[in-house]
Amino acid sequence: MKNRIFSCVLCFSILLGCSAKDENIPDAPLPDLYGKAVGFYEKKNYKKSIEFFQAVERQYPYDHWTIQAQLMIGYLQYLKRDYLDAINSFKLFVELNPYHPEVPYAMYMLGMSHYQQLSIIQRDQSAAKDGLEYFEMIKERYPDSIYATDAKMKIKTIQDHLAGKHVDIARFYLSNRSYDAAISRLLEAVTVFPNAEHTPEAKWRLVEAYDHLGLKAQARNMAQNLVKNHPKTVWHDYAKRFLNGE
């Protein structure tokens, strides 16, 4: 990913003999600005690198290299973990250049900027949902892109994460005997994320909730589903004992 973005920039700076002595940013030739931006990037001074790429964007708004500068501003913001700024930069790039060949990359980085904000399960998951949306768009719109395979892996990880959120909330409801609320959360988890890592537990918690409400048929059906579809989990063992009346 990094090589794809920066190879053309490094070649550009080398060929044009850029200077990196002056750290001020007055109006200057494009090669000078670009060279300084690349130089600061190589020194991992991402803040100054962004400033020079922004100067390129500001002073040469219609040049071909300005598009690369826009992409690298977003990437450097991502490296600095300024994810909200990176999201804004990549969104703007997509809006301004909807048919550019680097749109799949920008979409991927939008997904990654949300993905890096995945927090512990107990916290709000809006970043996970937004990231999932971008990765699914890559999967659907750009299935042959170099980002599609990793997007599919990220989709699985985020789905596990979101299913875990539902199960975590359902556990809280179960502990407070709010069985209807728990069932609502758990049904959403097993329906929306049927292949998630937390799905077997979600099914077992449904067995518990149904059983507490006296819904014996539903509890038994879910336990049978769990035994049939998740044989190598501890939740399978719980369900089997439940079916055997233990």
Q: What mean pLDDT is predicted for residues 159-178? A: 95
- Residue 21 has a pLDDT of 39
* 182-230: pLDDT as tens digits: 999 999 999 999 999 999 999 999 999 999 999 999 999 999 999 999 9
- Residue 240 has a pLDDT of 95
Question: For residues 193 and 159, is the Cβ–Cβ distance under 8 A?
Answer: yes
In whole angstroms, what is the distance from residue 233 CA to residue 25 CA?
61
CA nearest neighbour of 110 among 146, 158, 145, 74: 74
| Alpha-carbon separation of residue 102 from 85, 180, 208, 246 (angstroms) | 19, 47, 50, 59
- Residue 14 has a pLDDT of 38
Using a CB cutoff of 8 Å and minimum separation of 24, what contacts does 185-194 make?
189/163, 192/162, 192/163, 193/159, 193/160, 193/162, 193/163, 193/166
> Which pTM was predicted?
0.80
| Alpha-carbon separation of residue 20 from 17, 59, 99, 136 (angstroms) | 10, 18, 33, 41
